[in-house]
Structure 1
Amino acid sequence: MADNNKSGIRQSYINELNDLIGYQMENQVLLDEYVLEILKRLTLITKREVLICTNDKNRVQWVNIGDASTVNIGNAEMLYHVKALNKYRVIHTHPGGNPRLSAEDFSAAKKQSLQCIIAIGVDEKIPTSFSIGVPVVEEGTMEYGQGLFKTLKELNKFPLEHYILLADRFIKDDPNNRFDAEDEEERALLIGLDLPGNKGIELVDSMEELRQLVKTAGGIVEEEVCQSKNQIDPTFYVGKGKLQELIKVIQNHDINLIVANDELNSRQIANIEAATGTKTVDRTTIILDIFARHAKTKEGKLQVELAQQKYRMSHLKGLGIVMSRTGGGIGTRGPGEKKLETDRRHIRKQLEELEARIERINKSNQLNAVQRSKNKIKTVSLIGYTNSGKSTLFNRLTQSEVVTKDGLFITLDSTLRKVDPEHGEYLVSDTVGFIDKLPHDLIKAFKTTLMEVETADLLLHVVDVSNHNYEAQIEVVNQVLSDIGSGNKKVIMIYNKIDKLTPEEQDALLLKNQVAVEELALYISAKEGMAIESLFDIINRVLVGEKREMQLLIPYDDNKSLALLHEMKVVLAIDYQADGNLVTIEMTDDFPTHLFEKYQVTEV
């Protein structure tokens, strides 16, 4: 508050100035016309410097008036920060019309660690002009620099938030500060676009999915900003106006990570980081980071490294802050964590070596699949959207203890187990979950893991039916199946997690299971074991067909045919007749009937 006892200014002027305390200007301006007119008029009347201080919300905190040598820029109520600039902005007038900041102005701004200091040149004979002093980071140092403006409109276009962010980053990285320079906690701002013609998963659900991805990757989501646009901005992903909003959010919430809901190109990453001073990654980077966390086998780790290197190769020019970080954090984990060489030829060599090693694994897996086929061992592969309950169902079918928990991409390495012997003779594989906006190159990198899907005799498409967006998730999975060439596989739709529905909804869905075989669809709860016996039954029916009995009269001299029946484990009984062995067998659709047609007596 201004004090007329010290300034010798008429009380009415003091009151008018004090009335500004608590006034809040619009967020998009540094100074508005209303405040400017009051400051100019009081300056011309009193021939003194008039000063106001606003906070980062543009609310006037305190005021002062006096000579250049006596007006006080600071205030006893100021809250000081050691991790960032103080959240204050000083605006004051210069009687005589010279807007340039004085040495005393710069000294005060530096001492108080102000976000900015603005001077207004006020004189009756010349137009009002302005200057602004802001912290400028260059070559490892931070000093206050000055900008001059002829109009208020030009002043209000100044990108102050950009300078604040860079200064705050500099202060945090300064080893002379009394706090840890390495910021271990990743505080994320999520950004997404609602584009016309977007089909499938709605933006609100896609952003919630991104939130879960960041959480699974170990980050903390602080804020979320979305924008409706006709198309993705090729420069900043979002529009320029929205970018300014992002900068304010980053500043107010101490954000140190931006995560885009779509894949960004190298130019967009570089531009966003340059404008905000904040590490920027996209949805693909988060997914790769989660893959790196969950890959346990040599095969899985190789696939993660291949995917990481392919991504980095395509984004080599734009990895900015991410590339320069030697510490950890989202986007830096996994087998590809060591410092990435910027020589493209070297990266290509790494890619060739990785692809060769994975190809050797693929050939080995193909041989295993061929051997299983020769031995007539059927395989069933679980597929589905991530977090649909595949691993829980896998454990039910195989009596295994694969890790299951609520999270995205908990399963990365393909797991193959024998089904519970009481319910059949086939193998079950649990594979990585699919997700919306999964880049094609990423799918190709995980071809080894998805090979179990390609070679399977039957796919169980597991769906979280409790998710209101499950139909769109089904479309995502079907598209990925088509991409990997498995779109024509025999599929049973498994609508899981009915335990999350109301009892009435559960009863209605369980009734539909009466036609499960015909519809190739079943409603279950893997967690609670609901309808699991029906699932075993439908799998066996689809894999081997309906069982039926047949009688064959095999001559005593054809020991080879009898031995073959025993080898196929289809013999139920043998009755020794005068003409030969009357053998009763239990057969299914895959039984080689043509080999025994001449001995067929009857089909029971």
Structure 2
Amino acid sequence: MIQKLKSHKTEEYMIDEFVYNTLKEFSLNLNKEIAIVLNRKGRIEEVLIEKKEFAELENQDSFPKKAALIFTRLSSASHPSMLDLSILIMKKYDYVMIISLKTEEASIAFWGSQLKEVEMIGQHRIEYFYNLDISSKISEVDEKQREREKIHEILTEKEERALLVDVWSKSSSEFDRHLLEELESLCKTAGVKVVDKVVQVRRNIDPAYFIGRGKAEEIFSICQQKDIDVVIFNRELSPAQIKNLEELLLRKVIDRTDVILDIFARRARTREGKLQVELAQLLTLLPRLRGTGVLLSRLGGGIGTRGPGETKLEIDRRHIQRRIEEIKKELEKVKKSREVQRKSRIENQVPVVSIIGYTNAGKSTLMNRISKADVLVEDKLFATLDTTTRRVYYKGKEFLLTDTVGFIRNLPHHLVEAFSSTLEEVKYSNLILNVVDISDPYYYDHIKVSEDLLKHLGAENIPLIRVYNKIDKVDLSSVDVFDNLPHVFISAQDGRGIDTLLDMIVEKIKSYDEIC
């Protein structure tokens, strides 16, 4: 009987009358349930009998991925069980079909075309399925999967060796020059080993090579001598500059934005965060594509190629544009959901306090200190990417405390655009805490970067407290702070000044209560 089944070929990628009648006869004669694996050519690859062999499906990797799994049931049940669905999902079958020999009805479970949920067909009489065109539905899933695989491909991690490059002018500020050290910290966070740094002082940027061909050739020699994998520029490069540099250096060339995005890709945990990262990456990549969009040097993986999670970036212009539109639609749904939540907060008269600040200023540590929330805290840039909100009660007052993504100098416009659904929440705050790392010698510059971005977001008129953090790392008597705005000195690490800060927050949100 098994050989009879295996020698038969169905016309479509579906059970036919012969297969059904043979399975029915086989099952009833044995009084056992049977499963078959049907490949896309209409051939039966495997015949399994009874529960013991079915259980082996959970641990089997030998069956072809592009195949269907068809079960008979002696009972009247023709709906897939949780085990059936887990096999469909985990073992990546095209579809799972359940046939009740008692009622002669069946159901099919398969991935929907958007790869978001399992869809069902049935229950129907078995004859309904003989002419069902399941292949067209599977083709839609295949097409979607191919698009995803170009954008999402598992990478093997390896520590890359990087050379950092920056260009200064004679008028560059000390903070501008410090940004090269900041890039090195970004690289460390991204898991890249910085082997060397090159700085060129020049009046104008070279339109072809950014640093000029002569300097680029010098960098090529350094790369050869020091086994450099990737050259990272501290300024934003044009698509033409990247192309020219990669052709001359014979190595991957990325810029500061790519490093930031790579960190974002590692940090994203929520679906919204991952969508925002992917959108930012695709908006960065799209202008760089040539023709249909081939960036051969990007195909090797590593920094600048990771998508959210453990993925690789799309290289086809048409697919990128389609995916950008899909993500924007999904984020628009998130935005509408947030509007509903915001309306509910207003109706319930719960004020919102947002924590903002330059990256690594100690925002998440402060969040944990105030709310006792278990938010990821690391001494790394952009340790927090996804927005976290906690309810806080203090001296009879209630408010919502929100921790946001850190700000950084030279954040490109399209990154701000991609994260608009997260950043725009700041606009609807009743109070903003600008957390400042007072132990950093450039903390005044950090204040300016953060508050300039608040202006860009339209949040500059919201009441603000400057929170000078990390007093445990400095001698306050040696620090000159001239600040006309409300401010407080704290250590989120050891708790000093937290009560004073909370008293200031409560005082500020009293006015909100009075308005309400």
The TM-score with structure 1 as length reference comes to: 0.57
Given that residues 408 and 449 in structure 2 are in contact (C-alpha distance below 8 angstroms), is that contact kept between their aligned partners in structure 1? yes
The Cα shift of 1:322 comes to 5.6
| Aligned equivalent of 1:351 | 324
The Cα shift of 1:185 comes to 2.6
* 1:590 equivalenced with 2:510 (yes/no): no
Question: Which AA in structure 2 matches 1:590?
Answer: E
The Cα shift of 1:424 comes to 3.0
- Residue 425 of structure 1 aligns to a residue whose secondary structure is strand
| Aligned equivalent of 2:247 | 274
Question: Which AA in structure 1 matches 2:493?
Answer: K
| Aligned equivalent of 1:569 | none
- Higher RCO, 1 vs 2 (CA within 8 Å, ≥6 residues apart): 2
Distance 2:218 2:187 in 1: 21
Alpha-carbon deviations, 1:58-102, whole Å to 9, x = none?
xxxxxxxxxxxxxxxxxxxxxxxxxxxxxxxxxxxxxxxxxxxxx
- Residue 175 of structure 2 aligns to a residue whose secondary structure is coil
Aligned mate of 1:388, from 361, 381, 393 = 361
Given that residues 382 and 429 in structure 1 are in contact (C-alpha distance below 8 angstroms), is that contact kept between their aligned partners in structure 2? yes
| Aligned equivalent of 1:576 | none
Question: Which AA in structure 2 matches 1:444?
Answer: E
- Residue 434 of structure 2 aligns to a residue whose secondary structure is strand
Distance 1:341 1:190 in 2: 25
- Residue 280 of structure 1 aligns to a residue whose secondary structure is strand
Identity %: 43
Alpha-carbon deviations, 1:228-278, whole Å to 9, x = none?
111221111112232222122111211111000011111111111111111
* 1:234 equivalenced with 2:158 (yes/no): no
| Aligned residue runs from structure 1 range 83-102, under 5 A | none
Distance 1:200 1:370 in 2: 45
Distance 1:480 1:318 in 2: 35
Given that residues 252 and 297 in structure 2 are in contact (C-alpha distance below 8 angstroms), is that contact kept between their aligned partners in structure 1? no
Question: Which AA in structure 1 matches 2:288?
Answer: H
- Residue 246 of structure 2 aligns to a residue whose secondary structure is helix
Aligned mate of 2:165, from 188, 191, 199 = 191
CA shift in 2, pair 1:591/1:484, >3 Å: closer
- Residue 202 of structure 1 aligns to a residue whose secondary structure is helix
Distance 1:528 1:214 in 2: 29
| Aligned equivalent of 2:122 | none
Aligned mate of 2:506, from 527, 535, 540 = 540
| Aligned residue runs from structure 1 range 300-311, under 5 A | 300-311=273-284
- Unpaired runs of at least 5, structure 2: 1-155
Given that residues 282 and 324 in structure 2 are in contact (C-alpha distance below 8 angstroms), is that contact kept between their aligned partners in structure 1? yes
Tell me whether 443-452 or 388-397 shows the greater mean CA deviation: 443-452
- Residue 303 of structure 2 aligns to a residue whose secondary structure is coil
Aligned mate of 1:293, from 266, 270, 281 = 266
Question: Which AA in structure 2 matches 1:533?
Answer: D
| Aligned residue pairs, count | 360
The Cα shift of 1:474 comes to 1.1
- Alpha-carbon RMSD: 2.5
Distance 1:487 1:396 in 2: 26
* 1:520 equivalenced with 2:491 (yes/no): no
* 1:251 equivalenced with 2:175 (yes/no): no
CA shift in 2, pair 1:198/1:420, >3 Å: farther
Larger radius of gyration: 1
CA shift in 2, pair 1:329/1:591, >3 Å: closer
Tell me whether 217-226 or 486-495 shows the greater mean CA deviation: 486-495
| Aligned residue runs from structure 1 range 195-214, under 5 A | 195=169, 197-198=171-172, 201-203=175-177, 205-214=178-187
Distance 2:400 2:202 in 1: 48
* 1:401 equivalenced with 2:325 (yes/no): no
CA shift in 2, pair 1:589/1:432, >3 Å: closer
Tell me whether 247-256 or 438-447 shows the greater mean CA deviation: 247-256
Given that residues 353 and 433 in structure 2 are in contact (C-alpha distance below 8 angstroms), is that contact kept between their aligned partners in structure 1? yes
Given that residues 269 and 318 in structure 1 are in contact (C-alpha distance below 8 angstroms), is that contact kept between their aligned partners in structure 2? no
Given that residues 462 and 493 in structure 1 are in contact (C-alpha distance below 8 angstroms), is that contact kept between their aligned partners in structure 2? yes
Distance 1:365 1:519 in 2: 30
CA shift in 2, pair 1:355/1:198, >3 Å: farther
- Residue 307 of structure 2 aligns to a residue whose secondary structure is coil
| Aligned residue runs from structure 1 range 403-422, under 5 A | 403-422=376-395
| Aligned equivalent of 1:531 | 497
| Aligned equivalent of 1:480 | 453
Alpha-carbon deviations, 1:343-370, whole Å to 9, x = none?
x333222111110100110110111111
Given that residues 424 and 457 in structure 2 are in contact (C-alpha distance below 8 angstroms), is that contact kept between their aligned partners in structure 1? no
The Cα shift of 1:317 comes to 2.7
Alpha-carbon deviations, 1:295-343, whole Å to 9, x = none?
000000000011011111111139999644444310111249345242x
| Aligned residue runs from structure 1 range 327-338, under 5 A | 327-335=300-308, 337-338=311-312
The TM-score with structure 2 as length reference comes to: 0.66
